[in-house]
Structure 1
Amino acid sequence: MDAWTTVGDGRLTPSTPPEPDPAADELVVEVAACGVCRTDLHVIDGELEPHRSPVVPGHQVVGRVVATGPGVRRTAVGDLVGIAWLRGTCGACRWCRSGRENLCPDARFTGWDADGGYARYATVPEAFAYALPSDADPVAVAPLLCAGIIGYRALRRANLPP
């Protein structure tokens, strides 16, 4: 067993997906840690129907890059990266152009549109991978890829004075 896959009724089932082959702009990450978010539980419980079923949940992923697609330029095998909920956008709509990519009508999400981190391996487009310090603790960092990002974005948008 290399992954946990949704069944849709509040259960996960063990599965053995094939090892991922990266698309041109993707990284393959060997998962070191993955947090559990309430959104994952909504997907698992069937309250948030996956865009692709079955799907491997998990969007607070930290791991080392084990393979890269030919178009990858900034990330190397061995780098520690994080994978969050948002894994793709159109880049052209008013939301993307104003820094609010999370509202993009064409957004794609980890653990909902594509397999997430409840697995040995996960993939992520390089543009949506978070470069992490090589000595970061994966277990400590994983929750920051959801709750941390949300809090950071809220503080940034609040535009509080120093």
Structure 2
Amino acid sequence: ARTSQYASATIPFLAFPDVMIDHCMEDPFYFNSMVHFHFINLRNHVRYTLNFRNRAIDIHERLAEEMNLALDSTLVLKSVECQHLLGHYSAPDFNLNIVMEQDKLMGYQIDENTGVELEASRVYSETPDEFIFGDMFGRVVRDKAGAVSGLRLSLGRISTELVKDS
């Protein structure tokens, strides 16, 4: 009953009365639903969207190679422009090795305790300092001199700092 008072005014007029905002901020069911949606979005939709995006980039690269066309740098940077990412990075739970294989950046996530490879995935660089590894977004961390000192991998609110080994 409480929602029906403001629901009819919300859609046509895009009006959000205070009572509606209070309801959304105070109602534990609504809050839990939002957290649940956030979790589902990160674990399902983002992963599938990134998978589709990465496959589209792979196809674009293959077509460009077959047809002798230049790559669209707004989609992905050439691997030679991102060699500063190469190296071994350490985090509390896992290590990440980024290597060049067949002119592509590849990342290998390895369990810190067992040495087992957890994930092998291409690293898709969007800018010199931003990339995608698996279903995580990555950002380069630089020291005061501008050299790469680590990486920050994140998925939603979860973020992991990795330190580049010397």
Higher relative strand content: 2
Higher relative helix content: 2
- TM-score, normalised to structure 1's length? 0.24
- TM-score, normalised to structure 2's length? 0.23
Structure with larger RCO (C-alpha < 8 A, sep 6+): 1
